[in-house]
Amino acid sequence: MKHLSFSLLFCLLSLCSNSSFGQDSPIIPQPQSIRALKGSCALDKLNRIVITESSQMSLATAILKNLGSYLKKETSIVLSPNLSTTLPGKNNEILLTLNKQLGKEEYQLNINSKSIEIIYGGEAGGFYAMQSLLQLAQNAKESNKNKIVCQLIEDAPRVSWRGMHLDVSRHFFPIDSIKRYIDVMAIYKMNTLHWHLTDDQGWRIEIKKYPKLTQIGSKRKETMIAKNFLPFIGDDTPYGGYYTQEQIKELVQYAAAKHITIVPEIEMPGHALAALAAYPEYSCNGGPFETLTKWGISEDVFCPKEETFVFLKDILSEVMQLFPSSYIHIGGDEVPKTRWKTCPHCQGIIKAKGLNDENELQSYFIHRIDSFITASGRHTLGWDEILEGGLAPGAAVMSWRGIQGGIEAAKQHHEVIMCPGTHCYFDHYQGYQKTEPLAIGGYTTVQKAYQFNPIPSGLSTEEESYILGGQANIWTEYIPTWHQVEYMLLPRMLALSEALWTKMPQTGNGRDFDRFLPRLLPQMNRLQKAGYTVAQSIYDLQLELQAIPDTNGIRVSLKSPFKGGQIHYTLNDSLPKLSDPVLSGPIDIYRHKTMTAAYFENGVRKGNVWKQTIWPSGATGKKVSFDHAPSPSYNYGGSLTINDGIIGDRPWYGRDWLGWSGDDVSIVIDLGSKKPILHTYISTLKDEPSWIYGPKEVAVYVSDDNLIFTQVMKYGKEEIKMFNEQFPFFMNGWSGRYVRVDVKNQGIIPEGKNGAGEKAWLFIDEIMIFTEQDQ
């Protein structure tokens, strides 16, 4: 029996306190069970850590390092451990007990009036117990208490894969920054870092056998500014960077010490232009190529010839020597087939192997790489496109285009990690778009991340077992600095950590975000004090809109997730002040207004100023019907989005828009009675790098009975080009009760464009109809 004895050991823990239990625990992620016991523990009496076997020394050292450094920072007390053979006396001590009947990540914290016992099934479980104990310490310090209520915490993760992704190809970040990423992941019991190391815009990993990958492929001559695709505007500044193998080995060890596995991603067969710039002989046409300077994907991909497979196997061999992870991610997503369709070699393989098309050629490619990875004792992981043409026998699927790909893979008994763009893309806007830094688009709030459920309904118990867990992804096209990486990560990762760790409630409609918020705010403050950049978007006001029956008005409600302050507003486009009216209920708007509002607490404005221009029309709030429902991914505000009087912002973000993937749509608005119509206005979005295309055709019809419609006007190719995104139809002389707008989708994205061969998105945000009564 051995123990570590400390002078004043864990005076720090005298700061621990937990005044309530269950959902109100200050710990994030919330433990599975917290049971109150009688009494309290005066933690300033604790003076040693006791271990029961030598194998526990590393855990005891980690506890000393983490909690000890906190103590030194807060109290200037330096702990000095001394090894002793004294038997545990069960008083004034922290006892570490290994219980192999518990899972490797499972732990218990038994806090009684004399001591704290950490019972754990594996070193990871002991590490997570330490993180929970540290959060209790921090909470207690902030509460000015020196005792903790006696309690028993029993805790284990809901899923085994709790991940964060980081793209370092589009923008490169130093190793010390990646360590900060790992540090904050560890605090909240995340255990997998998916490291996106290669793409069209840069190759970031040293490969000894192929030095030109970093000599050439790690560099680009310039980088596109913002979203200046057409015409292209670059910054005229060379850009580059890569990680040496020694740096990677050190980082892998650093992460492992915090029980985080780094899973490398080496993209293939697409997203490969940086590699082909260095070694063009592995393409279909031989190049020459340059590393891509704009965002999106290149049509030039790896050619599936034997020398290419030798090249990639050599690379993967070095990668597997650096990363001991069970999974090796090979990408497999967004593979343009343009070059393969005209490549004699590729067409020869299709014929020789009896393949039906280029999708099956992609499957052939993935099967070849999967066989090599499997023979090397590892598992292949790829994005859900690897399902197309047939899944390789041992491959696992990362489902990003919604959850359906993951469901399909689980039903085929393949392992799955869920990361749908609806909840898990942290490169999306997280707050009010006008006050957020430029992002790729989308709208993923802290609350949305918190409601993520990695295990979808409709699966059998056996099929559910193939869902390993989930992760969030940070793609860095529009995230050029490390501060912005942290801004996009925090605090959303904390919400995700609880979604992945803590079991779903047995009753109700999911997790209670209102009870999560009081636990989140102290964590945000601690992270800021530790030097992290933490977004404050959680303070942003939440907009709710309602139609006002029998009118052309819209009812505007603004709510704060916090209850302790007041919302002040204006209707004259001025900055809201404390002297402006308090918003005590909904505001009804019948004419064009620009409304501003902000949340104030104790006389101080919290969060950003909300501002919105509203244009009511004869269509506002009227009944709407669609022949094709919008995609669940872009249906945030429901059908009212199409006639709420709000024109979507540019750059776009998700909550303003309804989206259809590949489908045409017919939209009917019931004006309530027959009316003379002056003009109709339709607002769409065009953002081709994001696969969002303007309409192919727009037509307006009127009807008196919703059965027989008469076409009023139709815009084709020339008018679409002239009006671009917003289409006015002047309809003087036409009358009707029902107005139908038919919008034709572009269909399949053409060759030479991002997402070539995929379904184009059609985005519509507003239809306005102005009648004589509206003048």
| CA–CA dist 387, 381 (Å, integer) | 11
| CA–CA dist 319, 332 (Å, integer) | 17
| CA–CA dist 771, 736 (Å, integer) | 10
Q: Pick the catalytic residue: 165, 196, 271, 423?
A: 271
Give the up-direction half-sphere exposure of residue 419: CA atoms within 13 A in the CB hemisphere: 23
Q: Pick the catalytic residue: 199, 370, 415, 580?
A: 199
Contact 547, 619 (CB under 8 A): no
What is the H or E stretch that residue 71 is in? Answer: helix 57-75
Q: Pick the catalytic residue: 106, 265, 334, 358?
A: 334
Q: How many CB atoms lie within 10 A of CB 529?
A: 9
Strands, E assignment, 99-206: 107-111, 115-120, 147-155, 161-167, 192-196, 198-199, 202-203
Q: Which pairing describes strands 467-472 and 161-167: parallel, antiparallel, or unpaired?
A: parallel
Contact 17, 149 (CB under 8 A): yes
Residue 367 appears among annotated catalytic residues: no
User: 377, 459, 350: which is closest to 414 by C-alpha?
Assistant: 459
Cα 217 to its chain centre, rounded Å, is: 27
Residue 423 appears among annotated catalytic residues: no
234 DSSP 8-state letter: B
In 382-512, where does DSSP find H-type helix? 404-411, 421-424, 446-450, 461-464, 482-489, 492-501
| CA–CA dist 454, 470 (Å, integer) | 6
Contact 665, 688 (CB under 8 A): no
Contact 184, 143 (CB under 8 A): no
User: 245, 421, 437, 422: which is closest to 333 by C-alpha?
Assistant: 421
Residue with tokens 């490398």: 264
What 3-state DSSP class applies to 769? strand
User: 5, 3, 17: which is closest to 46 by C-alpha?
Assistant: 5
Residue 271 appears among annotated catalytic residues: yes
Name the residues annotated as catalytic: 199, 271, 334
